[in-house]
Amino acid sequence: MKKGTILAVLLVVLIVVSGGVWIWMNPPVGPDVTEPTWTWTEMSPSTEPPARNGNCFIYDAESDVTVLFGGDTGPGGVTLNDTWAYDYDQNTWMNKTTESGPPELSAFNVAYDSESDRIIVFGGWYTPDGEAILHRGDTWAYDYNTNTWENMSPAVSPPMRRYSSTAYDSDSDRVIIFGGVLATGGTTGDTWAYDYNTNTWEEMNPTSRPSSRFYSLMAYDSESDRIILFSGAGLGIFTDTWAYDYNMDTWENMNPDDHGIGGAAQMAYDSVNDVCITFGGLDDEEEVCNVTWTYDYNTNTWSNLSINICPCGRERSYLAYDAESDVTLLYGGLGEDWYDSILGDTWSLEYEENGEMSTMIIPNGWQWVLATVVGENDNLHNN
């Protein structure tokens, strides 16, 4: 063997050995498989509602179905007024469209009043010709059991608006709406409460509140009796987190250390894990992302769940929590080409106390390498 060849072989051996020592001293950081895991699953039911955005996607706890209504197909398109219901246990979408339903409607407020077993819809916009944007200020109540919509015609209503946020406070039996884009122009930051039983809207008068905005994410943390508001758009995309207490009529700026990503249409509250869940949105570069975050009001903490296999990146996506099955459901959103990539897919997010790999004893750090080899880190760069 020539001297040069021996030197080359020694050099390669040195690189391999030092590389091994470096990895041994600096194991790659990865998920701990002994920890509980969150898993996204694409449901792929045989029928799905036609893709759209600006719809509602809301869980009726009494009937154990998630209801979808209305929405729009983008600029130059149409506004819709079809009603669908998704049954997670059967993995079936059912077309429930009825003539008693509201007219075409998009970007409206929606919440499920569990005490009265009604889905409440307010406001929104429609386009008669694919161009002009007109608003509605009606309040509707949908009863899935009888498949009937009722126009409530309350004496007083909030000003007409679109892209405002809604959640139902089950402790106080009130539907709460916040903000949006007013029909008269400009954004607003008002708080209103609706009681279906007396058919009355009441404007609240909190001393401080989130700034005027639209596209905020809202969900009700029933364990803490607080409505959580995150993000929203105005001059840019906001990343602040607020909590509203209807009983005290107070908005509290939570100022958590970290924050999730705004730009999704709806977040869900998982009552088993006592966290709000968001998926997707627009990152700092305003690119669509596919990250799953949770917010825990009790500890005032945002956490990135760092799930390896996720739905594709999207904004304006919808989350609803199916309490009977303890899964968070995802419907649609806008993909990376915005209205040229409207999504209509159905996914579920499930939490398991013990991950699939938890019985295998794998040295810390090598789990990440193993997951890469078996192809479970495909989406890691997006997380």
- What is the binding site for Ca ion (CB under 5 A)? 60, 62-63, 113, 115-117, 144-145, 169, 171-173, 196-197, 221, 223-225, 246-247, 274, 297-298
Q: CA–CA separation, 122 vs 362, rounded Å?
A: 53
Q: How are strands ordered across the β-sheet holding 118-122?
A: 109-113, 118-122, 139-143, 148-151
From the CB of 225, what's the least distance to Ca ion, in Å? 5
From the CB of 88, what's the least distance to Ca ion, in Å? 15
Max CA-CA distance within the chain?
A: 97
Nearer Cβ to Ca ion, position 93 or 142? 142
Q: CA–CA separation, 198 vs 56, rounded Å?
A: 24
From the CB of 348, what's the least distance to Ca ion, in Å? 21
Nearer Cβ to Ca ion, position 60 or 72? 60
From the CB of 11, what's the least distance to Ca ion, in Å? 59
Nearer Cβ to Ca ion, position 269 or 368? 269
Nearer Cβ to Ca ion, position 169 or 345? 169
Nearer Cβ to Ca ion, position 63 or 341? 63
Q: CA–CA separation, 33 vs 359, rounded Å?
A: 9
From the CB of 173, what's the least distance to Ca ion, in Å? 4
Tell me how far CA of residue 173 lies from CA of 77, 188, 197, in angstroms: 37, 24, 9
Q: What is the DSSP letter of 6?
A: H
Tell me if 192 sits within 8 A of 203, measured CB to CB: yes
Total residues found in the chain within this entry: 383
Strand partners, 296: 301
From the CB of 324, what's the least distance to Ca ion, in Å? 12
Nearer Cβ to Ca ion, position 224 or 358? 224
Nearer Cβ to Ca ion, position 219 or 237? 219
From the CB of 381, what's the least distance to Ca ion, in Å? 32
Could you tell me which of 280, 301, 240 has the C-alpha nearest to residue 383? 280
Nearer Cβ to Ca ion, position 115 or 150? 115
Could you tell me which of 57, 39, 37, 38 has the C-alpha nearest to residue 345? 57
Q: CA–CA separation, 94 vs 176, rounded Å?
A: 28
Residue 50 is encoded by which pair of tokens?
Answer: 């036609």
Q: CA–CA separation, 260 vs 275, rounded Å?
A: 13
Amino acid identity for residue 336 in this structure? E
From the CB of 252, what's the least distance to Ca ion, in Å? 14
Place of tokens 């007109």: 134
Tell me how far CA of residue 143 lies from CA of 74, 102, 122, 266, in angstroms: 28, 13, 15, 22
